[in-house]
Structure 1
Amino acid sequence: MELAGIAAIVIVALIFDYTNGFHDAANAIATSVSTRALTPRIALGMAAVFNLLGAFLSTGVAKTVGNGIIESPTGAHGLVVVFAALIGAIAWNLITWYFGLPSSSSHALIGGLVGAALASGGLVKWTGLVDSVVIPMVVSPLVGFTLAYLLMVGVMWAFRRVAPSRLNRGFRLAQTMSAAGMALGHGLQDAQKTMGVIVLALVVGGYHDSFDVPLWVKVAAATAISAGTYAGGWRVMRTLGRRVIDLDPPRGFAAETTASLVLYTSAFVFKAPISTTHTISSAIMGVGATRRFSAVRWGVARNMIVAWILTLPMAAFAAAVMYWIAHMIVSV
């Protein structure tokens, strides 16, 4: 029975990973597509490949998600908790995708874990949640905005005597590299979160005795997020690429470069599961503010920030409801 439950969770986790890919495809390529540095299909293909590669670079974030957010439940009850967490995260992903809101799949998953754990009477590692999720959730957008603003100011000063047409041609080429770097960071961060949940299910079910990530889990998670990315998330892409600010190639390059650096630092140094969505969105706002603050469509940005704030509690609520439903079904 528990083996069947683990198999079901692995399937649902990979479905979440796939929805993460198409929901967050815009994170990696929206700026490159909006500046016409890359065509949409080429950009998606490149993003899918680098998502796949990024997933194999580290497992620090996976261990944080698997072992740093909630106390590991046990047995069939524990599998229901993990299952409910995934369903809650998927539900919020689909809702925000439908409305074109670039919310965080990462925080949806973490909110799902917290909501399912609380509904089951389990323990949440509040210190780990605050240190690894809440503080980075607040700090990473601020850092992304500030660094992107400063980098763009530096670019504007360094190339102040270059003709705009020549500058745009050069930065369209540079954006190919910065978009690849962003896609690599997306795979590095987001594929690991699914790995962490699958390993948690294996530990809960007694089929794995540590939070080290098996190779087959890496391959499965990397493949699922890569396939989802290639499917594309066009609704969210329009919001990031055009509705926040009309980007030019230098600003697209600065936004992607800054966001990539923040993602790498968080994964390799702090092992914190930060949101790629929050990071790239704030970087886009930062580069846009160098034109003038009114150039950023703050009404759209405000709606995005509201979605960011709601993600953790709404995914937690959805997961709690799912836990109660699943628990009643299992108990019958």
Structure 2
Amino acid sequence: MTGLKREDRINTVYGGGGHVVILGAGASIASTLRNPELSGKKLPSMDNFIELVGLEDILESIDDRFKAKNFETLYSNLHRDDPNSTAIKEIERRVISYFKDMRLPEEPTIYDLLVLSLRPRDLIATFNWDPFLYQAFCRNSKFTKDLPLMSFLHGNVSIGYSYEDKRCGLAGMYMRRDGGFFEPTKLLYPVHEKNYNQDEFISTEWDRLKFWLGEKSTKLVTVFGYGAPESDVEAVRLLDEAYGGKDARNMEQFEVIDVQDEDVVVNRWDKFIHSHHYDYATSYFESSLARNPRRTSENYFQHVLPTTIAEAFSESNPIPSDFSTMKELWEWHRPLIEAEEKWKEKQLMNK
């Protein structure tokens, strides 16, 4: 059966759709395993966090009843006892210091591919504290301004919030000459009392995600490296509430990128998966984002609701995995951007 060719995939641009990508620590770990952080820093998980960030001396100095291997549990134990203790303050200082100095390497990373794979109709929501998403967004905005929106669900070392102007920006900077200071966002919350509505910035970030997850905003959801941990019950509850349950989303496609076995992953996200409407990948390059960058919604509509047989059997436009410079990455994306510009011009002429 003959379908649309790769060139058709590039030149086919729709105005509808919407793709939400939710990032957890696994996304940053995958990115740095492929392209190490500029100074060689490792991305920690909650189980090796204490060792990598260098908190062993604090662990040794506290009472045994507060100790835990998992960092979130340790922090919660200390916070419950005394939220203003010396140990709490020192932990917060070291965590910010460890993540704040991280830098993307010069060559293209998974984060660069990710931000270029989506458009302004899409949203990337991250639980991660590291600055990689923000840095990738900034350096790729030199090539195109048509990039996805972002939400920082647990704060971020790069992002600050002006309570005066209700705007976010680069932490430590000012929005204007006479004020608008972007106060660094809070990173650490005790797991036993994660009330996202108590912080104005975090509440705003979650409201954006909840709107984008709504049935009228998106048909595609990708979860990349986020394990929905038991300790983050409130986050999973909010995601479930915004999505509306799998039975209400019987035409949506749910995708998970995770190194764990498929059965484990599907069971974990069962509340969000309607029947067989899911995709599973163990690497970014197997995902819908890599198979059809900037055309994930077009690919979805042509395969799920095709108007012709050719659409149903249309080819993908997979991105190569071996770019050595940002210029090479941008040149590969240029035909996609040009097709989008032609589509926008046509929309203006038809108004």
The two structures have a TM-score, normalised by structure 2, of 0.24
Higher RCO (C-alpha 8 Å, min separation 6): 1
Bigger fraction of residues in helix: 1
Bigger fraction of residues in strand: 2
The structure number with the bigger radius of gyration is: 2
The two structures have a TM-score, normalised by structure 1, of 0.25
